[in-house]
């Protein structure tokens, strides 16, 4: 692998900002990514715009392997001026360098190193950082029928591959009450804020009722976390409306379904109020059973390449690998860059690791396409 060429490609991607919420920036980034793909793969991608978000897909023959990445980042346009691309003492820095533009570079160079990319689909989405709302169906469609999905999200600590991820659900619980003057006739109101307090306490005990407060596996227990609160209008008015947003992380599909049942079964405590529950499951869990065979294969390939022994990690964060696993496609995640600081100012990539990680991905694709993966 030509590391200098990989770094030139990485600098080009980082230099094009791609904040998820800025569809214009994402479209510009997609053009840069597409041009890079043309140079490395000799093929122009299918450009797919859904709800204003630009996604790219390269399809070679009848796909049996899906390679998944995203080109959007969490960094608002203008961040690059504050923290520009830099490469000092083997560490690359810049917005999105770790999550996950280095992973995209590794994907392109891995595919370019194959004798033929026939049988591979490379999907690069533009809204992963905001929940893949427009790309979910595209991801699932691309994964169905494939023997394996390899996700180029950044690695875990020390380069660990991500063999399991919690599933995610997001809810909004809105309380509808009745306004009244807080001093003259508070009894004629129905206080939505007080009712919301009851609901937050009820939400807080759902997780322990789902898995008994114990961690069912390395992913840790189910978590149900009230996050954003709002309510009321003026200091002297009984609130007629109050709401809370809720973040849910689950280790199993069964836990995700049970949480959904319990959230939707919430009942009001304050007379005159009513509840409205919105949202639901977003990403299903990526369970270890989905990744086990591919992780074993990766360990064998890494050994043959003379790499350090690989480690697997179970993480609470979700990715598009949750969707590929959710439709039954064996999935291995965290194959991207080694480094740290995702979503943080100290985001960085250890560039010396990029060639070996690229060879590892190429070896995995080759093994699956040749039937050596044992599937």
Q: What share of the chain is helix, strand, coil (3-state, %, to 5)?
A: 40, 25, 35
User: Which residues touch 253 (CB under 8 Å, ≥6 apart)?
Assistant: 167, 284, 285, 287
Classified as helix, coil or strand, 264 is helix
The tokens describing 205, both together, are: 């005990």
Classified as helix, coil or strand, 344 is coil
Q: How far is CA 29 from CA 54, 285, 332, in A?
A: 9, 29, 26
User: In a 10 Å sphere around its CB, with 0-12 CB exposed, 13-18 middle and 19+ buried, how is residue 187 labelled?
Assistant: exposed
CA dist., res. 362 & res. 304, Å (int): 13
Selecting among 72, 127, 211, 333, the annotated active-site residue is 72
CA dist., res. 213 & res. 220, Å (int): 10
Selecting among 128, 195, 211, 287, the annotated active-site residue is 128
The tokens describing 104, both together, are: 């995209």
CA dist., res. 109 & res. 361, Å (int): 10
The tokens describing 207, both together, are: 């997780």
153 among known catalytic residues: no
Classified as helix, coil or strand, 249 is strand
The residue assigned the tokens 């053009």 is 31
11 among known catalytic residues: no
Displacement of CA 61 from its chain's centroid (Å)? 27
- What kind and span of H or E run contains 358? helix 354-369
Residues 245, 134, 157, 295, CA torsion sign: positive
CA dist., res. 53 & res. 98, Å (int): 22
In DSSP terms, 250 is beta-bridged to 167
Provide the annotated active-site residues.
Answer: 72, 128
């Amino acid at each position: 692998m030509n590391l200098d060429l990989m770094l030139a490609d990485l600098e080009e991607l980082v230099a094009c900002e791609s904040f998820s919420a800025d569809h214009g920036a994402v479209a510009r980034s997609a053009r840069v990514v597409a041009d890079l793909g043309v140079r490395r793969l000799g093929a122009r991608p299918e450009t797919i715009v859904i709800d204003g978000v630009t996604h790219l897909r390269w399809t070679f023959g009848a796909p049996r392997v899906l390679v998944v990445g995203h080109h959007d980042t969490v960094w608002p346009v203008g961040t690059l001026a504050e923290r520009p691309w830099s490469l000092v003492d083997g560490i690359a820095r810049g917005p999105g360098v770790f999550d996950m533009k280095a992973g995209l570079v590794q994907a392109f160079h891995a595919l370019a190193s194959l004798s033929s990319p026939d049988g591979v689909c490379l999907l690069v989405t533009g809204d992963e950082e905001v929940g893949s709302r427009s790309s979910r169906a595209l991801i699932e469609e691309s994964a169905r029928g494939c023997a394996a999905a390899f996700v180029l999200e950044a690695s875990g600590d020390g380069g660990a591959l991500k063999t399991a991820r919690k599933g995610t659900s997001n809810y909004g619980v809105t309380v509808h009450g009745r306004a009244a003057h807080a001093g003259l006739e508070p009894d004629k109101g129905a206080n939505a804020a007080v009712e919301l307090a009851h609901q937050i306490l009820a939400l807080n005990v759902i997780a322990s009722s789902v898995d008994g407060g114990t961690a069912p596996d390395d992913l840790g227990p189910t978590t149900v976390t009230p996050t954003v609160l709002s309510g009321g209008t003026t200091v002297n008015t009984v609130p007629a409306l109050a709401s809370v947003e809720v973040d849910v992380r689950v280790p199993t599909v069964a836990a995700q379904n049970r949480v959904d049942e319990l959230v939707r079964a919430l009942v009001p405590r304050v007379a005159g109020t009513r509840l409205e529950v919105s949202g639901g499951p977003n990403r299903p869990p990526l369970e270890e059973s989905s990744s086990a065979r591919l992780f074993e294969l990766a360990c064998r390939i890494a050994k043959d390449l003379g790499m350090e022994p690989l480690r697997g990690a179970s993480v609470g964060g979700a990715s598009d690998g949750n969707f590929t696993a959710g439709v039954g496609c064996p999935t291995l995640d965290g194959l991207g860059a080694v480094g740290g600081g995702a979503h943080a100012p100290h985001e960085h990539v250890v560039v010396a690791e990029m060639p070996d990680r690229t060879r590892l991905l190429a070896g995995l694709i080759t093994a699956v396409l040749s039937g050596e993966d044992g599937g």
